Amino acid sequence: MARTSPVTDWAVDFDVLDAQYVADPFGIWDELRKRCPIAHTDRRGSTWLPTRYEDVTTIAHDVEHFSSLEVAVIPFDGEEPEDPVLPYGLPPISADPPLHTWTRRLLLPWFSHQRVNGYEALTRSLCTSLIDGFVASGHADAAADYAQQIPVRVIAHILGVSDSHADMFTGWVRDVLEFADDPERRIHGVEGLLNYFLEEIEVRRQHPGDDLLSMLLHAEVDGAPVEQSVALGAAALVLIAGVDTTWSAIGSSLWHLATHPDDRKRLVAEPEVMSFAIEDLLRAYSPVTMARIVTKDIEFAHCPMRAGDRVLMNFPAANRDPEAFVDADKVVLDRAVNRHVAFGSGIHRCAGSNLARMELRVALEEWLRRIPDFRLEEGREVTWAGGQVRGPRCLPVVFS
Ligand code: HEM
């Protein structure tokens, strides 16, 4: 995989793919907030990295200067196709208004509280059967055997595609997000996803079902049918946005509980704390960083940003800002006031947050019910993915 040289000065030459940043970015953000709250790099093009809550949320609300037309944290350095299959990318996430407004409106009802309640039983039985598969052995990879397996199957159900392809979907989504600095893998992931959805679209044109993909294909907006490329992009987005993100949040939460026995014991003893706990776990281990493109030159917080520069929406660092949160570096299971931005802020705020919260809560409830006492396996390494989505990819744990 293409890697740049190790970072020596985080303020002027940062790299979010640097091994230190992927493994443990928290100290780097703390140092930057004090010394240079908006860092810069010229690696992979001129890019800014805000680390303070106030800056990140201000940028998220300024859609005039900060566009979502390119949200990839790692820009694509392969050849762009001349006639792209997705001229609008993955709306609504890669769109500015007005396209953003109506494509978001199409998706939102699918992730309402009421709909999400309807997916809870499926999620719970999925978690139970995954645990059945390894509980007797006394050890598991909590990331690969558990966290990774849950969201992809729930999303497949919502999209109306077969969950027997779960591993294939996961592979494509990892190619697109986790291995985004490898042009071959990135193209492989994009092509795999698009070709798969194009075939599924053909089936639904003839035989519409009651799934999200069918709805997108047969929806009308202002009396006109939705263009196929928009439906395709939105469907691919739901899969891409709903898999790595939630799997990373479940994995990081299990990592926290494996390494903080007091928190683990408290959650087992006081299950009513769970709904607060998942919020603080989401805050402290926020998985998602997005990008924006500067539309016109602007001096932002003394930084001379130029049109075309990239800004990384560092929601994870904003959530660790001591100016915004008391004991920002600690998980406080029953934190009462928690205006975290793990799901973003402003018009692009996560459309699937109800679903993500339900999956995280159910995954932790079922795990703790069956495996209340667990810890990291000695001598085995925990590995993390970074870049656009941060979370553990190998998390060996033991239990009795
Ligand atoms: C813990 C899990 C998740 C986290 C941390 C997360 C985080 C985020 C963030 C930070 C954004 C804002 C992007 C931006 O500002 O550019 C976003 C947008 C979005 N997310 Fe999530 N997400 C999660 C799970 C999901 C799930 C399960 C779905 C459902 C399929 C989903 C669907 C979306 C969509 C469609 C958008 C685009 C919204 C828009 O542009 O208006 N996400 N997510």
pLDDT in tens, 136-187: 999 999 999 999 999 999 999 999 888 889 999 999 999 888 888 888 998 9
Residue 365 has what pLDDT? 98
CA–centroid distance, 322 to ligand 1, in Å, is 24
CA–centroid distance, 400 to ligand 1, in Å, is 36
In the structure, which protein residues have their CB atom closer than 6 angstroms to any atom of ligand 1?
Answer: 68, 71, 92-93, 104, 107, 111, 155, 237-238, 241-242, 245-246, 249, 287-288, 290, 313, 315, 342-344, 348, 350-352, 355-356
**Percent of all residues in the chain with a pLDDT value above 70, rounded to a whole number:** 98
The closest alpha carbon to 124, from 391, 288, 358, belongs to 358
CA–centroid distance, 290 to ligand 1, in Å, is 10
- 61 Ramachandran zone, left/alpha/beta (phi>0; psi -120 to 50): alpha
Residue 82 has what pLDDT? 64
Omega before 75 within 30 of 0, i.e. cis: no
Confidence band, pLDDT 50/70/90 cuts, at residue 378: very high
Q: In the structure encoding, which two tokens stand for residue 82, read together?
A: 């001349």
**Percent of all residues in the chain with a pLDDT value above 90, rounded to a whole number:** 89
Q: Is the pLDDT of residue 1 over 50?
A: no
Residue 4 has what pLDDT? 72
Ligand 1: residue of 245, 345, 360 to mutate (most ligand atoms within 8 A of CB) is: 245
Bridge partner list, 50: 38
Ligand 1: residue of 350, 354, 362 to mutate (most ligand atoms within 8 A of CB) is: 350
95 CA closest ligand 1 atom index: 40
* Nearest-CA residue for atom 43 of ligand 1: 350
CA–centroid distance, 239 to ligand 1, in Å, is 11
- The residues spanned by each domain of the chain are 2-76+84-387+391-395
Region 328-353: what's the mean pLDDT? 98
Residue 369 has what pLDDT? 98
* Nearest-CA residue for atom 14 of ligand 1: 348
Q: What is the mean pLDDT of the chain?
A: 95
Confidence band, pLDDT 50/70/90 cuts, at residue 3: low
- Rounded Cα gap, residues 178 and 247, in angstroms: 13
The closest alpha carbon to 319, from 332, 333, 301, 338, belongs to 338
* Nearest-CA residue for atom 27 of ligand 1: 242
Region 44-67: what's the mean pLDDT? 97
- Rounded Cα gap, residues 103 and 127, in angstroms: 32
Q: What is the pLDDT of residues 271-296, one digit of tens each?
A: 999 999 999 999 999 999 999 999 99
Region 316-333: what's the mean pLDDT? 98
Residue 76 has what pLDDT? 79
Residue 83 has what pLDDT? 65
292 CA closest ligand 1 atom index: 16
Q: What is the pLDDT of residues 119-136, one digit of tens each?
A: 999 999 999 999 999 999
342 CA closest ligand 1 atom index: 5
Q: Is the pLDDT of residue 53 over 70?
A: yes
- 2 Ramachandran zone, left/alpha/beta (phi>0; psi -120 to 50): beta
| Alpha carbon 133 to its chain's center | 27
Residue 79 has what pLDDT? 72
Confidence band, pLDDT 50/70/90 cuts, at residue 333: very high
- Rounded Cα gap, residues 301 and 276, in angstroms: 33
The closest alpha carbon to 291, from 145, 208, 180, 188, belongs to 180
Confidence band, pLDDT 50/70/90 cuts, at residue 106: very high
The β-bridge relationship of strands 290-294 and 66-67 is: antiparallel
Q: Is the pLDDT of residue 337 over 50?
A: yes
CATH 1.10.630.10, applies to 2-76+84-387+391-395: yes
- Rounded Cα gap, residues 366 and 369, in angstroms: 5
CA–centroid distance, 274 to ligand 1, in Å, is 22
CA–centroid distance, 140 to ligand 1, in Å, is 28
Higher pLDDT, 66 or 84: 66
Most confidently modeled range among 127-136, 162-171, 204-213, 234-243:
127-136
Helix axes 228-259, 261-269, angle to 10 degrees: 100
Q: Is the pLDDT of residue 338 over 70?
A: yes
94 CA closest ligand 1 atom index: 40
180 touches 72 (CB < 8 A): yes
Range with the lowest mean pLDDT among 179-188, 244-253, 299-308, 335-344?
A: 179-188
